[in-house]
Structure 1
Amino acid sequence: MLTTVTFSLLLSAFASVLSSAEVFRFSSYYGNHMVLQKAPAKAVVWGFGQNGAKVVLSLSGLQEVSTTVINGIWRTTLKPVKASGSPYKLTASQNITNSSITLSDVLFGDIWLCSGQSNMAFTVGQVINATEELALASEFPDVRIFQAALVQSGEELIDLARVEVPWSQPTPELLGGKKFSHFSAVCWLFGRYLYKTLKYPIGLVHSSWGGTPVEAWSSPRALHKCGLMNSVFREQSNFLDGASITWNSTVLWNAMIHPLLNMTITGAIWYQGESNANYNRDKYNCSFPVMIDDWRMAFHKGSGGQTPLDFPFGFVQLSTYRKNDSQDGFREIRWHQTADYGYAPNVRMKNTFMAVAIDVPDARSPYGSIHPEDKQDVAYRLVLGARAVAYGEKNVSFQGPYPTHAMLKQNLICIVFNQTIISATTNDGFFEICCSEDKTCESDNKWLSVDIVKHGFDYVYVSTKDCPDANITAVRYLWTDWPCKFKACPIYSSDGLLPAPPFILAIRKQ
């Protein structure tokens, strides 16, 4: 059961940081089996020690850097190291106490941070073919995992208060651990798929918590930009019937993100939004993009400029929750996840990528329909985005079709897409048109379900039903919580892999 950190635990964590000045150690993030960021970036390494002491770091005798302990903290930056599956030893020595610590089996590769709420916290042991997935763990020893423990804090912590999974090689036990509170399936699958492309070590840092709003993961300065300071949010639990949890703004930023800012990372992936479907929903088009901006700034500053200021950020557009329900907020959150552009990257959300998940509903999930068991498709679509956006790989299709314009033609509406499509002719209400004399479309009763009547290589035609041409204002697509059966939305990319995301579009008149 999710609980808040007690005041005594906070005091204990604070006392532990203060006493660290007398204890020579690495910060909690470092350990045996870890992955550090590869060249051309430089990996930041830090820890605690005795004030005034000199600390020397040696990397397998190949390079040596030194620093001084100031206010109980030492910190330095290694010279760039190329990606390598050959392990290194990292030794830190403090002169005053004649102390040394050696970390072994250290690899250099790309670090990805994975965060969000329960669909990110969903473990490999919960996916639909968990037995087969877990059996593959030993085949990927160079995909290393680390997980922050579930902790809240009213103040920004210097170091993680606790660690759930220290840096480790993957095992079935670690990947299939406690439901919703052990290692993430989306994070692991993303790393595993990415490794198969890159062929060098991947470090996965998991820091997520089920049932959490974006406000809990955001700094005060980010929330201030959206007018969301001092929010207190009571979330209905998706795990326990009738249970609810209270979240305060910034408590997870303080405890589970801020301690990681010194890390040099490649990028981040995010799966969250369900908890904002009915909480500050109309502000999510501000709060989510601003959180991304703020994380980028903070990681860039915290790493001394080693983490790029515009590091790539991938996210999952919400899947489904309730059938025949247009009032649960999912359709609006999907739209707001893109800053109301409908696709990513876009002008407001540069260097981002999005995995569309609206076509992978799961009515039979034992964890509730809000938690689909198919995390493989989600992770695969994220990896396509990472390959194209983060790694600049050419000719990688990572976005489903998106409309360029819609025109009224002879009692039909022609919707033209930005790429070749596969489409079905169907009358299942996937498309709706706004039929409004006063040209306003806010009310659902002004939207009429219309049929796809024909389609071509990059367009579809939909009917105008009984709406006079003069009253037709806009068209929208997949504008319900649960519009499609599993992988059966009507419009996909030409390879059949990527669905067109939901959209709303004004109609041109000829």
Structure 2
Amino acid sequence: MLSTVTILLVLSAFASVLSAEEFRFSSYYGNHMVLQKAPAKAFVWGYGQTGAKVVVSLSGANKEEQISAKSAVINGIWRAALKPVEAGGPYNLTASQSITNSSITLTDVLFGDTWLCSGQSNMAFTVGQVINATEELALASKYTNVRIFQAALEKSEEELTDLARVEVPWSRPTAKLLGGKAFTHFSAVCWLFGRYLYETLKYPIGLVHSSWGGTPVEAWSSPRALHKCGLMNSQFLVKSNFWENASTKWNSSVLWNAMIHPLLNMTITGAIWYQGEANANYNRDKYNCSFPVMIDDWRMAFHKGSGGQTALHFPFGFVQLSTYHKSDSQDGFREIRWHQTADYGFAPNKRMKNTFMAVAIDVPDERSPWGSIHPEDKEDVAYRLVLGARAVAYGEKNVSFQGPFPTQAMLKQDFISIVFDQGINAIPDDGFFFEVCCSEDKTCESDNKWLPVPIEKCGFDYVLVSKPKCDADIIGVRYLWTDWPCNFKACPIYSSDGLLPAPPFILSITNQ
């Protein structure tokens, strides 16, 4: 005779089988969603009865119903790529299964561009936390064609096929959804990026938010990506950015497994990323490998998962870190900022093609109620990301999206001339922003070899800084090479229109 426990286990297993064969879309799909527009094909998938046939059809937007795709259910899962659909809507998306004669219809479906937003707490920072939250939340309902979706916070030791939970199903934006509980509801950077982008493109934008505060890049990376950087799968402690002397335990790949891998089948336009704080003191010197490799790996995985519909080299935007402690101590932020660019100092570059970067070093926030590591000004960050997206992702001409970057530094009689790749808006300073390396052994690793020098003169595309008084060789120059170099929007060098700051850099000095 079977025990009660055995009967319950059998019933549980039977229920799992039934659940797996229940005819439905996967958790990512729903009413009000945005699917990727033409020329790409939107990829849809779900669960059904093995051996059945599934027909996916589209209707609405003054069009007669058209059969868009057919799929067989294999091992309880069906997948289909729709025919390309131009931006617009709304449509009804219906999936019908043979054998059971079942059908499911999703309503108010739009076609446009879908962007994935990920990272740690500065990406998780909600619209309700920004400095002008009341005004931003009041605008939400006016942008009905910018739709939002958010994955719930979940970890997994194995790659999940589908999301374990959904925090915000596909929805039209509301003040309640955007402004919810701090760091756990909808991302301010993600929302503002989508809203600003919509104002330029004038067609639907879908925003998929999947981020978690205090997380290192290793948790978001697949094992194969970590292996390429010599990083083994392991459990590690990461210093908390919320509480002093506190750490959080993370396993490698647990967020890749639970919060990225389940999304791979969808077709996306691109991704934006705000992360790096957690790696300032963990595998910091590996970040110039781990971050670019994660981007490469995500691109490959989304391309494969969507049946080739997501571009193999889809555009990837990221935020270069702002600031944390306003003191002489180093938090590792200056190194991480450099490593975020694969040590080029700018993006895109030869190692990180089709990327774009929003510099945030000039928007510190010492009085942020969320701690100085979480600046309240997310509008400037999102605006700079959108400039990058317009130029890199959409190929818009005459869009300035990069601050000035030096092309050469030359030693002259009493000055060092630093020439930039564009016109600059600069002001002389008192010697806290530029440093010059004086070294007898021609190395500059030690901070005590770097001497501060002031800007003496500014030209259309150059600055002259003082030559330091030293008996050793003058080797290099660096700019903004501290964790907190500037006050709010008060760095000394910007683009000629005054909008985009020059990013931190380090550069060898050549003789005249």
TM range (shorter): over 0.9
CA distance in structure 1 between the aligned counterparts of 2:15 and 2:426, rounded to whole angstroms: 60
The one of 198, 201, 208 equivalent to 1:198 is 201
Relative to structure 1, is the Cα distance of residues 19 and 281 closer, same or farther in structure 2, using a 3 angstrom cutoff? farther
CA distance in structure 2 between the aligned counterparts of 1:14 and 1:41, rounded to whole angstroms: 39
Partner of 1:126: 129
User: Amino acid of the residue matched to residue 497 of structure 1?
Assistant: L
CA distance in structure 2 between the aligned counterparts of 1:90 and 1:342, rounded to whole angstroms: 45
Cα drift, residue 440 of structure 1: 0.8
The 5 A counterparts of 1:65-84 are 65-84=69-88
Q: TM-score, normalised by structure 1?
A: 0.96
Partner of 1:274: 277
CA distance in structure 2 between the aligned counterparts of 1:38 and 1:14, rounded to whole angstroms: 40
Query: Is contact 1:140–1:192 with CA below 8 Å preserved after alignment?
Result: yes
Cα drift, residue 98 of structure 1: 1.5
The 5 A counterparts of 1:389-400 are 389-400=392-403
Cα drift, residue 102 of structure 1: 0.5
Q: What whole-Å deviation, never above 9, does each CA across 1:250-279 have from its counterpart, x for those lacking one?
A: 000000000000010000000000000000
Q: What whole-Å deviation, never above 9, does each CA across 1:107-133 have from its counterpart, x for those lacking one?
A: 000000000000000000000000000
Partner of 1:137: 140
SS of corresponding position for 2:418: strand
Q: What whole-Å deviation, never above 9, does each CA across 1:144-163 have from its counterpart, x for those lacking one?
A: 00000000000000000000
The 5 A counterparts of 1:8-407 are 19-60=18-59, 61-84=65-88, 86-407=89-410
Partner of 2:3: none
Identity of aligned residues (%): 81
Cα drift, residue 245 of structure 1: 1.2
Cα drift, residue 326 of structure 1: 4.8
Query: Is contact 2:55–2:67 with CA below 8 Å preserved after alignment?
Result: no
CA distance in structure 2 between the aligned counterparts of 1:381 and 1:395, rounded to whole angstroms: 15
User: Amino acid of the residue matched to residue 183 of structure 2?
Assistant: F
Query: Is contact 1:119–1:371 with CA below 8 Å preserved after alignment?
Result: yes
Query: Is contact 1:324–1:480 with CA below 8 Å preserved after alignment?
Result: no
Segment drifting more, 74-83 vs 325-334: 325-334
User: Amino acid of the residue matched to residue 316 of structure 2?
Assistant: F
Relative to structure 1, is the Cα distance of residues 493 and 16 closer, same or farther in structure 2, using a 3 angstrom cutoff? farther
Kindly report structure 1 stretches of 4+ aligned residues shifted beyond 6 Å: 13-17
CA distance in structure 2 between the aligned counterparts of 1:352 and 1:18, rounded to whole angstroms: 43
Partner of 1:7: none
Partner of 1:484: 486
SS of corresponding position for 1:373: coil
Cα drift, residue 97 of structure 1: 1.3
Cα drift, residue 21 of structure 1: 2.9
CA distance in structure 2 between the aligned counterparts of 1:329 and 1:358, rounded to whole angstroms: 14
Q: What whole-Å deviation, never above 9, does each CA across 1:475-496 have from its counterpart, x for those lacking one?
A: 0000000000000000000010
Query: Is contact 2:42–2:266 with CA below 8 Å preserved after alignment?
Result: yes
CA distance in structure 1 between the aligned counterparts of 2:95 and 2:363, rounded to whole angstroms: 48
CA distance in structure 2 between the aligned counterparts of 1:17 and 1:352, rounded to whole angstroms: 42
Gaps of 5+ in 1: 1-12
CA distance in structure 1 between the aligned counterparts of 2:245 and 2:475, rounded to whole angstroms: 42
CA distance in structure 1 between the aligned counterparts of 2:484 and 2:229, rounded to whole angstroms: 29
User: Amino acid of the residue matched to residue 291 of structure 1?
Assistant: M
CA distance in structure 2 between the aligned counterparts of 1:498 and 1:16, rounded to whole angstroms: 57
User: Amino acid of the residue matched to residue 418 of structure 1?
Assistant: D
SS of corresponding position for 2:265: coil
Relative to structure 1, is the Cα distance of residues 64 and 505 closer, same or farther in structure 2, using a 3 angstrom cutoff? closer
User: Amino acid of the residue matched to residue 473 of structure 1?
Assistant: I
CA distance in structure 1 between the aligned counterparts of 2:201 and 2:249, rounded to whole angstroms: 41
Query: Is contact 1:405–1:417 with CA below 8 Å preserved after alignment?
Result: yes
SS of corresponding position for 2:296: helix
Cα drift, residue 211 of structure 1: 0.1
Gaps of 5+ in 2: 1-11, 60-64
The one of 407, 410, 431 equivalent to 2:413 is 410
Cα drift, residue 18 of structure 1: 5.3
Segment drifting more, 308-317 vs 20-29: 20-29
CA distance in structure 1 between the aligned counterparts of 2:423 and 2:341, rounded to whole angstroms: 22
Relative to structure 1, is the Cα distance of residues 19 and 434 closer, same or farther in structure 2, using a 3 angstrom cutoff? farther
Cα drift, residue 244 of structure 1: 2.3
Segment drifting more, 391-400 vs 230-239: 230-239
Query: Is contact 1:17–1:159 with CA below 8 Å preserved after alignment?
Result: no
CA distance in structure 1 between the aligned counterparts of 2:55 and 2:404, rounded to whole angstroms: 54
CA distance in structure 1 between the aligned counterparts of 2:183 and 2:244, rounded to whole angstroms: 16
SS of corresponding position for 1:136: helix
Q: What whole-Å deviation, never above 9, does each CA across 1:364-414 have from its counterpart, x for those lacking one?
A: 000000000000000000000000000000000000000000000112100
CA distance in structure 1 between the aligned counterparts of 2:14 and 2:25, rounded to whole angstroms: 17
RMSD, aligned α-carbons: 1.4
SS of corresponding position for 1:62: strand
User: Amino acid of the residue matched to residue 494 of structure 1?
Assistant: S
User: Amino acid of the residue matched to residue 501 of structure 1?
Assistant: P
User: Amino acid of the residue matched to residue 40 of structure 1?
Assistant: P
